[in-house]
């Protein structure tokens, strides 16, 4: 699998798209984000630190992916499992948003944890694959430990320098995901933190 990490996208291109979608962005922030005021916004020791330097095997093809290759892009790293009910709920949101933000230098990465690879493939066969999207597996739980994952789903946001700037604990929703990405793309990461949208699950 060839992963085209889209670097150094023109700010002009983003400005044009942002101008057209300004009303949508404002609505998304109002409905889904509320960073800094949401009572479920909490601190995390990982926020502001570089993302772990890890290599992980691809889920469906041979080879490994170096997370350091994400530097230069905004990255969404989502930890999931096939048995996770909220993961099924958020899956279409992740895949549609990946497509919507592909031209803005945003890379989506899905890391399968606490699960068998074949179960993850069956999950994608049933619900569909994001395009573009990078699907990886964490066979020895190293990535889970390095990111401090407590359960699934959990989603981490990395800026273009590879710094963790935000996290969603629980299933993502469309307005919250879009508002978070817009804030990062516009360089407004100061108010990002950890937003809890629901309980995370562990392997039954």
pLDDT level of residue 192 (50, 70, 90 thresholds)? confident
**Count of positions (residues) in the chain:** 204
Q: Does the pLDDT at position 82 exceed 70?
A: yes
Model pLDDT for residues 99-157, shown as the tens digit of each residue: 999 999 999 999 999 999 999 999 999 999 999 999 999 999 999 999 999 999 999 99
pLDDT tens string 164-175: 999 999 999 999
Q: What is the pLDDT of residues 1-19, one digit of tens each?
A: 444 444 444 343 444 344 3
- State the Cα–Cα distance between residues 21 and 2, nearest whole angstrom: 31
User: What average pLDDT does this structure show over 70-77?
Assistant: 96
Q: Are strands 194-196 and 41-42 parallel, antiparallel or unpaired?
A: antiparallel
Note the pLDDT tens digit of each residue in 28-70. 333 333 333 343 445 567 899 999 999 999 999 999 999 999 9
Q: Which domains does the chain have, with CATH numbers?
A: 11-196 (3.40.30.10)
H/E stretch holding 111: strand 106-112
pLDDT at 187 over 80: yes
Question: Cα 170 from chain centroid?
Answer: 12
């Amino acid at each position: 699998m060839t992963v085209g990490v889209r670097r150094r996208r023109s700010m002009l291109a983003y400005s044009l798209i942002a101008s057209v979608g300004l009303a949508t962005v404002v609505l998304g922030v109002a409905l889904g984000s509320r960073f800094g005021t949401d009572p479920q916004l909490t601190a995390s020791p990982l926020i502001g630190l570089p993302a772990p330097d890890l290599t992980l095997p691809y889920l469906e093809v041979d080879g490994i992916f170096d997370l350091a290759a994400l530097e230069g892009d905004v990255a969404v790293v989502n930890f999931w499992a096939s048995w996770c009910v909220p993961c099924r709920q958020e899956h279409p949101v992740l895949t549609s948003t990946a497509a919507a933000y592909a031209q803005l230098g945003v890379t989506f990465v899905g890391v399968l944890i606490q699960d068998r690879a074949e179960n993850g493939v069956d999950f994608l066969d049933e619900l569909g694959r994001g395009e573009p999207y990078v699907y990886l597996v964490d066979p020895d739980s190293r990535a889970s430990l390095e990111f401090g994952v407590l359960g699934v789903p959990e989603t981490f946001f990395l800026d273009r320098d590879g710094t963790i700037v935000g996290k969603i604990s629980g299933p993502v929703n469309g307005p919250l995901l879009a508002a978070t990405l817009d804030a990062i793309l516009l360089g407004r990461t100061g108010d990002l933190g950890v937003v809890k949208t629901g309980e995370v699950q562990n392997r039954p």
